[in-house]
Amino acid sequence: MGTLPASAEEAVARLRREVGDIHQELVRYRLVVWTAGNVSARVPGHDLLVIKPSGVPYEELSPRDMIVCDLDGTVVDGELSPSSDTAAHAYVYRHMPHVGGVVHTHSTYASAWAARGEAVPCVLTAMADEFGAEIPVGPFALIGDDSIGRGIVETLSGHRSPAVLMRSHGVFTIGKDARAAVKAAVMCEDVARTVHIARQLGEPRPLAQADVDRLHDRYQNVYGQPGAAR
Amino acid sequence: MGTLPASAEEAVARLRREVGDIHQELVRYRLVVWTAGNVSARVPGHDLLVIKPSGVPYEELSPRDMIVCDLDGTVVDGELSPSSDTAAHAYVYRHMPHVGGVVHTHSTYASAWAARGEAVPCVLTAMADEFGAEIPVGPFALIGDDSIGRGIVETLSGHRSPAVLMRSHGVFTIGKDARAAVKAAVMCEDVARTVHIARQLGEPRPLAQADVDRLHDRYQNVYGQPGAAR
Amino acid sequence: MGTLPASAEEAVARLRREVGDIHQELVRYRLVVWTAGNVSARVPGHDLLVIKPSGVPYEELSPRDMIVCDLDGTVVDGELSPSSDTAAHAYVYRHMPHVGGVVHTHSTYASAWAARGEAVPCVLTAMADEFGAEIPVGPFALIGDDSIGRGIVETLSGHRSPAVLMRSHGVFTIGKDARAAVKAAVMCEDVARTVHIARQLGEPRPLAQADVDRLHDRYQNVYGQPGAAR
Amino acid sequence: MGTLPASAEEAVARLRREVGDIHQELVRYRLVVWTAGNVSARVPGHDLLVIKPSGVPYEELSPRDMIVCDLDGTVVDGELSPSSDTAAHAYVYRHMPHVGGVVHTHSTYASAWAARGEAVPCVLTAMADEFGAEIPVGPFALIGDDSIGRGIVETLSGHRSPAVLMRSHGVFTIGKDARAAVKAAVMCEDVARTVHIARQLGEPRPLAQADVDRLHDRYQNVYGQPGAAR
């Protein structure tokens, strides 16, 4: 185990609370069952992340349970074992410096697209707003080394979408902080479900690329309260 | 920012509470995720509306957060930015004087019909009661000017349905007040879902136009408590 | 308005509470939206029924709001208008003396079968237990006279099923009391949903009639606590 | 009725609480309606099991209501009748000594696969983790003798899956304790749903057997907190 630098203590304390609490949004939107999803956040200004412990029920998560790891996934502070997906989260933070939050779920509709290895086409204005493109499919990758992290980074680098459907597996989302990544996970399941249902009885009409571009640009720059997280 | 006339203060105070509170019905019936739907109400006797602020979570909405705008969508009272759909709401109030409430959602099944650009056929007695006809499809329209509002008004003018499926987007509903518009949004998703599911395994039987007419007339004039909002 | 006989007062007071409360089961199992379903109970030993008022939200229902009607549907006690489905409930009590409770919903999957005019085939042991047969389809009938009540009675007389899918409309269920009729409504939606989903990807295997008979006989005579309502 | 040995009293008291409480997970994940599912646990070191009473609503279950039976299903302690599925649970404990918990549900998607008599193919990494194989189909069996228990044991013996889809009926799951069996029931419905939805719009990609093996081995030996129930 490493050592938590004194200068990180305040941010870590805050993120233990925030990351612990925001798991409730995964529960509320039914994106997770049992203990199968997880959220992490980068500790700003430090090569550290805060992540959920492995196999602990969401209703029992306390700030104290959250684990602090370095960006190789080694535990620096915390009594429990970190999420078994920690290596993937850490890889993303190492290779995508603008990312401040990562979320992983097996949410039903998104995972169904992932099981077929099929991207969710961008056919709704809400999807153009949030994703700016289709939600892409990443490679099949086994847990245990950097394969999943590499698959996420390679798929999302240069892509507008903050969500990737990892083939035969589930969803990873990224954001400027944990809340933004959770929002992307919620919206990903929402549009994956709506487009699935639309396609059950025919073909959704495509959106013109120019309209997708305009919607995405506007939403990323205008929506919400000035200065607030979207 | 404009000025709130003294004669509107009492009605505005009441509508801030009512409009704020009734967003909980959108949450309860799972018509919205994150911050993506909104309700507004006309201030009776004034060219004003009360609407949800942009990007604020439903569980944090307080009466104080609600925004008062004039019917051009300009903020008259309130500290936050109004919903990014305010222009569409305002356009409806300007052009449909009998409308006292407007609701916008991306509810799943209704949005799926909207993604295919297909009207929901009137094949259930509950749908004849509430909508009196199919739920029609409005044009594809980009946010940012009067296109969405114009599409709503052109589609619903002279139509019995209080709900319109805006193509590739979502639902707008109207009512004599906010509660009636919310009810239309709830019923719209309910019948969009039931008719979708019916069609998954065959064709729902059509209702005769004369039966639709009789049901709609009876429901609009007899149902509920005398003098109460339906 | 008629007069409530003194000998009925105690039973009516109890049933106002019980019928009011059991509407919460319709909400809990998501069988109803807004104010669209209703429960009634016969007042034992009297030609009276207790039923939900029309158009009142479920969360506001108090025992005082419940309406007492005679078996022609005329209000005998209560301040509000009774459910607009009162005539159908009353007809059932007039013609089926063993029935002590009636429930009406537009629950999604059952209504989807009703929209196609298709009976739910008996392909699950739980369905053989509770329904002992397919869930049959009743005629299309308009509200406003005895058509709906007659359709329910004609379809369920001599049928094992306590539930009927009224064509293009919704579900009516019967039971020895309100709780049994609510249970039938809950189970009806549950099996309508499961059989629908089974059929989406193929054909459910039929149950042999002899097995349906054995299961139904056993469940009706053995299940649950001795002497208790099932 | 038999007699509860003094040496079992402490374990029985604990299991009455634990088994009673864990039924709430079946409700929370919507695996059961009304009173239709049940959980049991073996009393360690005794030929006894603790199980839900028959036909009692989940929200009214208290530790006192739980029934203690011997492994022939005869009641040893408790005032109510045990679950009508007790014989199946008892048969499993008699023939599978490593099993400490059994769960039975009619959860929707799993029961839909069971109604078609079709195994859920192993096409998701989460399914490889938990089930290590397809979720197999057991025989059609009537309640009332050892047929259901025998079907469960014959299907699951030598199979990695802790869940079996009993044909035209529902799901039985096993685990080292009640919590593990409930987890298997929750995950079974989750993957049955996701794979169903994936197949609605095409074919999920198969997982290579070697990948299934690696995932299952890792999950069974590495996941969660050291020494904790998974």
Q: Where are the alpha helices (DSSP H) in A96-177?
A: 108-116, 125-130, 147-156
The predicted-structure confidence for B38-74, as pLDDT tens digits, reads as follows: 999 999 999 999 999 999 999 999 999 999 999 999 9
Q: Please report the pLDDT score of residue B227 as a whole number.
A: 57
Task: Choose the mutation target among A31, A188, A197 for the interface with B, i.e. most B CBs under 10 Å.
Answer: A197
Q: Is residue B213 flagged as an active site residue? A: no
With vertex at residue D185, the alpha carbon angle to CA D180 and CA D188, rounded to the nearest 5 degrees, is 120
Angle between helices C178-200 and D178-200 (to 10 degrees): 50
Q: Is residue A95 flagged as an active site residue? A: no
Whether A115 sits inside 8 A of D224 (CB atoms) is no
Q: Which of B34, B142, B170 sits opposite A211 (nearest CB)?
A: B142
**Non-local CB neighbours of B25 within 8 Å, separated by 6+ positions:** B182, B186
Whether A194 sits inside 8 A of B115 (CB atoms) is yes
Residues of C in contact with D199 (CB under 8 A): 201
Environment class of residue D112 by beta-carbon count within 10 Å: exposed (0-12), middle (13-18) or buried (19+)?
A: buried
What is the rounded average pLDDT of the residues C160-164? 98
Q: Please report the pLDDT score of residue B27 as a whole number.
A: 97
Q: Distances in Å between the alpha carbon of D206 and those of A192, C193, D122, D194?
A: 21, 28, 7, 14
pLDDT band at C41 (very low <50, low <70, confident <90, very high): very high
pLDDT at D222 over 80: no
pLDDT band at D230 (very low <50, low <70, confident <90, very high): very low
Q: Is residue A169 flagged as an active site residue? A: yes
What is the rounded average pLDDT of the residues A19-41? 96
- Backbone phi and psi for residue A174, each to the nearest 5 degrees, phi listed first: -125, 160
CB-based contact, A186 to chain B, within 8 Å:
yes
Residues of A in contact with B196 (CB under 8 A): 197, 200-201
pLDDT band at D83 (very low <50, low <70, confident <90, very high): very high
Q: Please report the pLDDT score of residue C224 as a whole number.
A: 65
| Average pLDDT value over all residues in chain D | 95
> In this complex, which chains have at least 3 CB pairs below 8 Å with chain A?
B, D
Q: Distances in Å between the alpha carbon of C103 and those of A189, A223, C175?
A: 35, 46, 9
Beta strands in B9-94 (DSSP E): 38-42, 48-51, 67-70, 75-77
pLDDT at C168 over 60: yes
CB-based contact, C34 to chain B, within 8 Å:
yes
- Report d(CA B174, CA A77) in Å as an integer: 54
Residues of D in contact with C200 (CB under 8 A): 112, 196, 200
pLDDT at C230 over 70: no
Taking CA–CA distances from D32, the nearest residue in chain C reads: C190
> In this complex, which chains have at least 3 CB pairs below 8 Å with chain D?
A, C
CB-based contact, D6 to chain A, within 8 Å:
no
Q: Please report the pLDDT score of residue D229 as a whole number.
A: 44
- Report d(CA A132, CA A121) in Å as an integer: 11
pLDDT at D76 over 60: yes
Three-class DSSP category at A223: coil
Taking CA–CA distances from C198, the nearest residue in chain D reads: D112
Residue the block writes with tokens 């009706």: C220
What is the reported pTM?
Answer: 0.96
Whether A54 sits inside 8 A of D224 (CB atoms) is yes
CB-based contact, D109 to chain C, within 8 Å:
yes
User: How many CB atoms lie under 10 A from the CB of residue C226?
Assistant: 8
Q: Please report the pLDDT score of residue D144 as a whole number.
A: 87
Q: Which of A81, A116, A143 sits opposite D204 (nearest CB)?
A: A116
Length of chain D: 230
Residues of A in contact with D107 (CB under 8 A): none
> In this complex, which chains have at least 3 CB pairs below 8 Å with chain B?
A, C
Residues of D in contact with A167 (CB under 8 A): 205
Taking CA–CA distances from B192, the nearest residue in chain C reads: C108
The region of weakest confidence among A215-224, B192-201, D29-38, D178-187 is A215-224
Residues of D carrying an active site annotation: 104, 106, 129, 169, 223
CA distance B81 to chain A (A): 6
CB-based contact, D53 to chain C, within 8 Å:
yes
Half-sphere exposure (CA, 13 Å, Cβ side) for A139?
13
- Distance between start and end Cα atoms, chain B: 36
What residue ranges define each of the domains in chain D, with the CATH number in brackets?
6-221 (3.40.225.10)
- Report d(CA A174, CA A178) in Å as an integer: 8
CB-based contact, C104 to chain B, within 8 Å:
no
Q: Which of B58, B77, B93, B104 is catalytic?
A: B104
Q: Please report the pLDDT score of residue B229 as a whole number.
A: 44
Q: Report which residue type is found at C207.
A: L
Q: Is residue A21 flagged as an active site residue? A: no
Q: Please report the pLDDT score of residue C3 as a whole number.
A: 82
Task: Choose the mutation target among D79, D143, D193 for the interface with C, i.e. most C CBs under 10 Å.
Answer: D143
The predicted-structure confidence for C74-108, as pLDDT tens digits, reads as follows: 999 999 999 999 999 999 999 999 999 999 999 99
Whether D125 sits inside 8 A of A143 (CB atoms) is yes
Q: Note which residues in 191-210 of chain B have CB less than 8 A from chain A.
A: 196, 199-200
Taking CA–CA distances from B106, the nearest residue in chain A reads: A126
Q: Which of C55, C118, C168 sits opposite B225 (nearest CB)?
A: C55
Whether C194 sits inside 8 A of D117 (CB atoms) is no
| Average pLDDT value over all residues in chain B | 95
Whether B224 sits inside 8 A of C55 (CB atoms) is yes
CB-based contact, B31 to chain C, within 8 Å:
no
CA distance C171 to chain B (A): 12
Print pLDDT tens along chain B (230 aa): 568 999 999 999 999 999 999 999 999 999 999 999 999 999 999 999 999 999 999 999 999 999 999 999 999 999 999 999 999 999 999 999 999 999 999 999 999 999 999 999 999 999 999 999 999 999 999 998 999 999 999 999 999 999 999 999 999 999 999 999 999 999 999 999 999 999 999 999 999 999 999 999 998 886 666 655 44
CB-based contact, A97 to chain B, within 8 Å:
no
pLDDT at D3 over 90: no
CA distance C225 to chain D (A): 6
Q: Which of D190, D201, D211 sits opposite A33 (nearest CB)?
A: D190
pLDDT band at A229 (very low <50, low <70, confident <90, very high): very low
- Backbone phi and psi for residue C177, each to the nearest 5 degrees, phi listed first: -150, 180
Taking CA–CA distances from C52, the nearest residue in chain B reads: B224
The predicted-structure confidence for C1-24, as pLDDT tens digits, reads as follows: 568 999 999 999 999 999 999 999
Complex prediction ipTM: 0.95
CB D125 within 8 A of CB D207: yes
Consecutive H or E run containing D193: helix D178-200
Q: Please report the pLDDT score of residue C229 as a whole number.
A: 44
| Average pLDDT value over all residues in chain C | 95
CA A30 vs. chain centroid, Å, equals: 15
Residues of C carrying an active site annotation: 104, 106, 129, 169, 223
Residue the block writes with tokens 């007040």: B177
Whether C84 sits inside 8 A of B223 (CB atoms) is yes
Q: Which of A129, A190, A216, A219 is catalytic?
A: A129
pLDDT at A222 over 80: no
Q: Which of B85, B129, B177, B190 is catalytic?
A: B129
What is the rounded average pLDDT of the residues D176-204? 98
Consecutive H or E run containing C126: helix C125-130
Nearest to B162 by CA among B140, B182, B184: B184
CB-based contact, D57 to chain A, within 8 Å:
no
Residues of B in contact with C199 (CB under 8 A): 201
Can you spell out the DSSP letters for B100-147? -EEEEE--HHHHHHHHHT-PBP--SHHHHHHHSS-BPEEPP--TTSSH
Residues of C in contact with B203 (CB under 8 A): 116
Whether B55 sits inside 8 A of A203 (CB atoms) is no
Q: Which of A80, A115, A142 sits opposite D194 (nearest CB)?
A: A115
Q: Is residue A196 flagged as an active site residue? A: no
The predicted-structure confidence for D91-114, as pLDDT tens digits, reads as follows: 999 999 999 999 999 999 999 999
Q: Distances in Å between the alpha carbon of D21 and those of A62, B214, C149, D51?
A: 21, 52, 43, 12
